[in-house]
Amino acid sequence: MENVPKKMNKSSLSILIAVGVIVLAVVGYGIWQAMGKENDTSSRTVSTVSGAVELSEENLEGRWVCTGETITHELTFFKEQKLSYQKFETGSETPVLSTTDNTYQIEGNTIALSISALTGDISETCQAALTADTLILTETSQEPSYFAGTYRRTEPEESSSTAESSSSIPDSTTPPESSSTTELSEPEAQNEQWKTAYISYIESLHSDEWQNFKLINLDGDSIPELYVEGSTTAQGNLICTYSNGQIVSENLRAGSTYYLDGGNRLHVHSGNMGLYFDTVYSIQNGAFIQLHSGEFELRDPYGTSYEENDANYRYIWDGKEVAKAEYDQKLNQEAGSGKAAYETMITKSEVITKIANW
């Protein structure tokens, strides 16, 4: 009888040991899992913020490009919260939208972007994550985002590599008058800039609203002005010039437009049903300035005679009533006998080709 308790004690001890091993294994596995998750979370956090820099004007300054499947966006940030924007069809070198007079504002980890285009203003606030060479913009509302995406910093292209390759060739093999560098002179670079700006501007116009185009020499410099005819009277017509790196435009009344070739005078004659207008413009400091305005209207709108004379019409020049002879003399003095801008106009594709080959 004394041997029975000893056998039971050994059996109990074995069971206890087995249970203890199992408990330790379970506890150890749980601790290992918890440590693994903590390490994984820690590593993900580090990778998310790795290389992050402060969202500031200084760190943001420069050109950033976001390339999508069909559309490529280009944002260029300047000091004093200035912004330029271009939109391309991916793979194309000609922008479908280009606008320079834009702004942005930084608040915490968000950027409010505002661009102004002929087709309307676009304003959007995005959450931003910035590193030295990556800018991630994320939408902050339920509306579809215009700017959201991953942007890469893009430095201006340099021609130094071409220069270096040409310098490695012995002087005796290269004639002094030839050069293998592709760097453009300042006039050539400016020439390409106005072409790109005009083409981008033309591409941004709706084809069903603006259909006829013409390049004219208004102010006599090497860059032509662009005259655009609207499809309706309400739209009027456009006259554009290139100044200080951007397109400057003026909306004109629908009517007959004349210009002095190189004489810096643009004359618009418009009106009907007994009320007519003459407006004279000039380009000054890169902008269109209205120099003079005249109008004449029937004294008796219900009369039957539309012949232009003092008896039938009342003439006003620059706000002062004058006789018809004085009105005609002042108009001829300021506008002269100009060329008709509305004659021999060309299509959108034709004017783009003409600009590219200018």
Q: Maximum distance among all alpha carbons in the chain?
A: 149
Please tell me the predicted confidence (pLDDT) of residue 171: 42
Query: What are the two backbone dihedrals, phi and then psi, of residue 351, each rounded to the nearest 5 degrees?
Result: -70, -35
Residues 225, 341 contacting (CB under 8 angstroms): no
Q: Which pLDDT value is given to residue 47? A: 33
For residue 209, the SS3 value is: coil
Q: Where are any strands of DSSP class E within the chain? A: 62-67, 71-78, 82-89, 97-107, 110-117, 120-130, 134-139, 149-154, 210-216, 225-230, 237-243, 246-252, 256-260, 265-272, 275-284, 287-298, 313-317, 320-322, 339-340
pLDDT value of position 40: 41
Residues 6+ apart with CB under 8 A from 100: 84, 85, 245, 246
- The pLDDT assigned to 159 comes to 35
Phi, psi for 31 (deg, rounded to 5): -65, -40
What confidence score (pLDDT) does residue 70 get? 84
pLDDT at position 51 = 74
Q: How many CB atoms lie within 10 A of CB 87?
A: 19
Burial (CB < 10 A; 0-12, 13-18, 19+), residue 247, is buried
The pLDDT of residue 98 is 79
What is the set of domains in the chain, with CATH numbers? 57-154 (2.40.128.360), 188-356 (no CATH)
Length of the chain: 358
Tell me the mean pLDDT per 10 residues along the chain, length 358: 49 65 62 49 37 89 89 90 87 79 90 78 90 90 86 64 36 38 53 88 90 93 94 90 92 93 94 90 93 91 71 92 95 92 93 92
d(CA 31, CA 118): 63
pLDDT at 249: 93
- One-letter amino acid of 283: I
Residue 355 CA to residue 7 CA, distance in Å, equals 106
If we measure between CA atoms, which residue out of 316, 296, 320, 300 comes closest to residue 308? Answer: 296
